Chains A and B, each alone.
Chain A
Amino acid sequence: MNRLRSWVDGVDIRRFRFWVQLASFFILVYGGYFYINLGNSLPTFSCGFNGDGKGGICYLLPLQHQMHISWDALLGWRGIALGTGFLTFLAWLFVLNKAWCGYVCPFGTIQDWMTKLRQLFGIRYSNYSLETFNKLKNVKYLLLILLLVIPFAMANPVPGTGHLPDDLATPFCKICPARMVMPAFTGDFSQWTVDFSTGTAMVMTSLGMLVLGIFLVGAFFNKRFFCFFCPMSALHALFANIAFLKLKKTGEKCTRCGDCYRVCDMQIKAIADDVESKVIVKDDCMLCLKCVAACPEEGALKATFLGIPIYESTEAGFFKRMDKKRKEAE
């Protein structure tokens, strides 16, 4: 048992993650061709605009649809549909918590591949300054609120004011770059257009293409560029501390050497500086566990599932991985 544990703790998490991500990508982007259907409440960007290939649907799409609900319908069957959809989402989320982002999300995986591409060219990554970071991280909450409020406001117009245009339905999907990127992987570029049918549609789809352009450059230079703004991440964050999979920190063992912060794709400074919190899944965290792999202190960081440690930082594991990575770089 101890040998198994030390083997697991010494594991090369990047490689493990690469294969899990690849498998998840395949299931969520091409699984539909093999009749894999994980439902439409997935807490990850398995884009519903991807045609037959999709192996399940990102919960944000049905959520926006379902939020198009009038007050009185809330108590009817549509309210029940909204509720069951949300409970299904929660059930999925509770299993993997934010590891949905770090290990499953195909859109996140694409960004990791773009990072690999950048590394092939040996180009330096970009970072936000701490102040910019602290401002930008709130964008995802704003997007989450908007994607809930806009459809709801469409279904419940305030008397005396005009109706919101129909083309504002699923407002987030309109500006989400995954809508263009994910279907492209099954050869469908039909989303790469500007819709001139109405003013609203024109503005929203133009915004979408604008965001796509920014994304393609941003994700090349900035690790996990989009994830800072992802409203799914914001939705996860509301439940991140009560899900089954957790990232825990033993503050006393931390020397604040900052190695975890260095390797964090999401620039989470608290992972190094916070020595008070026991559970340290911050709102931007994607539970990729790179920090655990980069921590040289025995048991300072660990991932637990229902309280059982599954991956723990060890000195031996740290040096083994660093050595391996160094040799790989030869």
Chain B
Amino acid sequence: MSTEVSDIRARNRQTQQAMEAAAVLARIQTEFPDNPAGMRYFYDLFQKTYCEQSAPHGKPVIGTTCVQIPEELIYALDAVPVRLCNGTYAFDQAGAEFMPTKSCSLVKATLGFLNQELPAHLQGMRQVINATTCDQKTKAGQIIEQMGYEVHHLEVPRSKDSEQARDYWRHSVAQTARFLEQATHRKLTRRGLRTAIGKVARAQQAFRRLHALRREKPSVVYGKDVFLITNGYFFDDIDRWTEALEALNQELEERIQKGINAAPKRAPRILFTGSPPVFPNLKLPLVIEQAGGVIVADETCSSNRMLYDAVGVDEWFLYDMVDAVADRHLKPCTCPIFSSNIDRQRRLLELARSFEVDGVVYQAFAGCQVYEIEQQSVTAALTEAGVPSLYVETDYSPDDLGQLTTRVEAFLESLRSRRRRKRQ
């Protein structure tokens, strides 16, 4: 293939991504009435980043491929972490070049995205930290390396409960800190890490406030907006992002006071879990909410799992802060790659209880084995607790949209009639 042809194809893909993004943004904004004014910032953010040319960060950019990569360390070295997980169907197709057909769309899309000229906000990104979590991400590391990036393989234990795992992981994180020092030509300092932990904590606090607001009945915010916000955390300037979210929270609280709600009173409350919705692949969340449901909580690594659990430091020295950051990225993690998914089940049940959800939608990307495997045990746990659930196996292709809509509508209807039965 000549370079010219591949250039044209790459440009085509970027155009395709812009088109996909514009279509989703349009649906998000126009098909739902009365979006909060505070969402404007996020709509514009995605418009700029995906459809237009956004400004570069102006700081060294470190690519990451997983929530388990401690962003605090990257911020501490005055670099910017950008999560590379991609949700574009065009890149999913392009990535098929590197992975078997029956692989996870997200991994393929990420590879497809990296294998072309980077957009403006990622200009100059040379280093990627790849976590050895599931098989596909682990193997993707080497492929990214072959694309010419300097890849640090962050070794993740496949079990998280033992002290060996904790020890091993702490070593891994320490190694990553060393890697980042080399990559940024800076030294990790107490002040730097302290500030970074503070920054992330503030963002988490804002997220948690939003999370708590979603408990409100009737719902004050749609899940599609929340996914958009948390997707923004992947690449946006963290301080700007936090301020925008704080402003939105303020607005939502005012809306609660005024009695303005987003979804209709009777809208079935959905807990979303499984493979992460990554913009512009908000296919399933949008189907749910357009069919009259409202996603009030989620348990995915593009949202809740990324931002919920906080770093707890005992002694504000590097020796304890680095360990604290490491602990926060392993122990509470509910990723299905771990040997036990008890914590994931517990968290789902607690979210279902405290958010008074009517049902759970479980998304598994075709080829994402770990979520597919866990489906059984999670569904069993939910059934035992009396929470109905819908298991959806899908990917980035728009082909199954019709079939999905039918299934989701049927599920929502069953939830409504269940609620009616309960009331009687």
Direct contact of A and B (CB under 8 A): yes
How far apart are the CA atoms of A328 and B315 in the complex, in Å? 11
Contact B201 A319 (CB under 8 A): yes
Would you call B309 an interface residue if the criterion is a C-beta within 8 Å of the partner chain's C-beta atoms? yes
How far apart are the CA atoms of A125 and B320 in the complex, in Å? 9
Residue of B nearest to A252 (CB): B350
| Residue from B212, B309, B312 within 8 A of A262 (CB atoms) | B312
Binds A, one of B81-89, B190-198, B405-413: B190-198
- In the complex, what's the smallest C-beta–C-beta distance from A235 to chain B, in angstroms? 28
Contact A253 B350 (CB under 8 A): yes
Would you call A329 an interface residue if the criterion is a C-beta within 8 Å of the partner chain's C-beta atoms? yes
How far apart are the CA atoms of A217 and B197 in the complex, in Å? 32
Within 8 A of A (CB), among B347-367: 347, 349-350, 353
Would you call A315 an interface residue if the criterion is a C-beta within 8 Å of the partner chain's C-beta atoms? yes
Residue of B nearest to A131 (CB): B163
Would you call A193 an interface residue if the criterion is a C-beta within 8 Å of the partner chain's C-beta atoms? no
| Residue from A255, A260, A322 within 8 A of B347 (CB atoms) | A255
Would you call A325 an interface residue if the criterion is a C-beta within 8 Å of the partner chain's C-beta atoms? yes
Would you call B317 an interface residue if the criterion is a C-beta within 8 Å of the partner chain's C-beta atoms? yes
Contact B343 A329 (CB under 8 A): no
Would you call B328 an interface residue if the criterion is a C-beta within 8 Å of the partner chain's C-beta atoms? yes
How far apart are the CA atoms of A329 and B321 in the complex, in Å? 12
- In the complex, what's the smallest C-beta–C-beta distance from B383 to chain A, in angstroms? 18
B349 / chain A contacts, CB cutoff of 8 Å: 252
Render A162-202 as a binary contact track against B, CB cut-off 8 A, 1 for contact. 00000000000000000000000000000000000000000
Would you call A259 an interface residue if the criterion is a C-beta within 8 Å of the partner chain's C-beta atoms? yes
Within 8 A of A (CB), among B290-348: 308-317, 319-320, 323-324, 327-328, 331-332, 343, 346-347
Would you call B54 an interface residue if the criterion is a C-beta within 8 Å of the partner chain's C-beta atoms? no
- In the complex, what's the smallest C-beta–C-beta distance from A251 to chain B, in angstroms? 8
Render B182-213 as a binary contact track against A, CB cut-off 8 A, 1 for contact. 00000000110010011001000100100010
Would you call A87 an interface residue if the criterion is a C-beta within 8 Å of the partner chain's C-beta atoms? no
How far apart are the CA atoms of A294 and B350 in the complex, in Å? 20
Contact A323 B201 (CB under 8 A): yes
| Residue from A252, A262, A318 within 8 A of B327 (CB atoms) | A262
B311 / chain A contacts, CB cutoff of 8 Å: 259, 322
A262 / chain B contacts, CB cutoff of 8 Å: 312-314, 323-324, 327
A130 / chain B contacts, CB cutoff of 8 Å: 163
Check A255/B308 contact, CB under 8 A, given A119-B317, A322-B201.
yes
Contact A257 B201 (CB under 8 A): no
What bracket does the count of chain A residues touching chain B fall in?
A: 20 to 34
- Using a Cβ–Cβ cut-off of 8 Å, how many residues does chain B contribute to the interface with A? 35
Render A247-270 as a binary contact track against B, CB cut-off 8 A, 1 for contact. 000001101111110110000000
Check A259/B312 contact, CB under 8 A, given A252-B353, A330-B194.
yes
A124 / chain B contacts, CB cutoff of 8 Å: 317, 319-320
A258 / chain B contacts, CB cutoff of 8 Å: 327, 331-332
B310 / chain A contacts, CB cutoff of 8 Å: 257, 259, 296, 318-319, 322
Within 8 A of B (CB), among A35-51: none
Residue of B nearest to A320 (CB): B205
Contact B312 A263 (CB under 8 A): yes
Chain A binding surface, main DSSP class: helix
Check A294/B312 contact, CB under 8 A, given A256-B343, A262-B324, A326-B194.
yes
How far apart are the CA atoms of A256 and B328 in the complex, in Å? 10
B331 / chain A contacts, CB cutoff of 8 Å: 256-258, 272
Check A326/B343 contact, CB under 8 A, given A130-B163, A258-B332.
no
A256 / chain B contacts, CB cutoff of 8 Å: 331-332, 343, 346
Render A298-330 as a binary contact track against B, CB cut-off 8 A, 1 for contact. 000000000000000001001100110110111
Check A255/B197 contact, CB under 8 A, given A125-B315, A326-B316.
no
Would you call B44 an interface residue if the criterion is a C-beta within 8 Å of the partner chain's C-beta atoms? no
- In the complex, what's the smallest C-beta–C-beta distance from B332 to chain A, in angstroms? 4
- In the complex, what's the smallest C-beta–C-beta distance from A286 to chain B, in angstroms? 15
Contact A122 B343 (CB under 8 A): no
- In the complex, what's the smallest C-beta–C-beta distance from B304 to chain A, in angstroms? 10
| Residue from A255, A260, A319 within 8 A of B309 (CB atoms) | A255
How far apart are the CA atoms of A326 and B316 in the complex, in Å? 7
Contact B312 A122 (CB under 8 A): no
B212 / chain A contacts, CB cutoff of 8 Å: 315
B353 / chain A contacts, CB cutoff of 8 Å: 252
Render A127-143 as a binary contact track against B, CB cut-off 8 A, 1 for contact. 00110000000000000
Contact A122 B314 (CB under 8 A): no
Would you call A12 an interface residue if the criterion is a C-beta within 8 Å of the partner chain's C-beta atoms? no
Would you call B161 an interface residue if the criterion is a C-beta within 8 Å of the partner chain's C-beta atoms? yes
- In the complex, what's the smallest C-beta–C-beta distance from B189 to chain A, in angstroms? 12
| Residue from A119, A259, A272, A275 within 8 A of B346 (CB atoms) | A275
How far apart are the CA atoms of A98 and B309 in the complex, in Å? 29
Render B386-397 as a binary contact track against A, CB cut-off 8 A, 1 for contact. 000000000000
Contact B316 A255 (CB under 8 A): no
A322 / chain B contacts, CB cutoff of 8 Å: 201, 310-313
B194 / chain A contacts, CB cutoff of 8 Å: 326, 329-330
Contact B332 A122 (CB under 8 A): no
A252 / chain B contacts, CB cutoff of 8 Å: 346, 349-350, 353
A260 / chain B contacts, CB cutoff of 8 Å: 312
| Residue from B316, B327, B328 within 8 A of A325 (CB atoms) | B316
How far apart are the CA atoms of A326 and B349 in the complex, in Å? 34
Would you call A52 an interface residue if the criterion is a C-beta within 8 Å of the partner chain's C-beta atoms? no
A328 / chain B contacts, CB cutoff of 8 Å: 316
How far apart are the CA atoms of A130 and B165 in the complex, in Å? 12
Within 8 A of B (CB), among A63-81: none
- In the complex, what's the smallest C-beta–C-beta distance from B160 to chain A, in angstroms? 9
| Residue from A125, A253, A296, A325 within 8 A of B313 (CB atoms) | A325
| Residue from B161, B198, B308, B328 within 8 A of A326 (CB atoms) | B198
Check A122/B317 contact, CB under 8 A, given A252-B353, A263-B312, A329-B194.
yes
Taking Cβ atoms with an 8 Å cutoff, the residues of B that contact A are 161, 163, 190-191, 194, 197-198, 201, 205, 208, 212, 308-317, 319-320, 323-324, 327-328, 331-332, 343, 346-347, 349-350, 353
Beyond A256-B346, A290-B314, A328-B316: 4 further Cβ-contacts under 8 Å? A119-B317, A259-B327, A296-B310, A315-B212
The 16 listed contacts between A and B (C-beta, < 8 Å) are: A125-B315, A252-B349, A255-B332, A255-B347, A256-B331, A256-B346, A257-B312, A257-B332, A258-B331, A259-B311, A296-B312, A315-B205, A319-B201, A322-B311, A322-B312, A326-B313
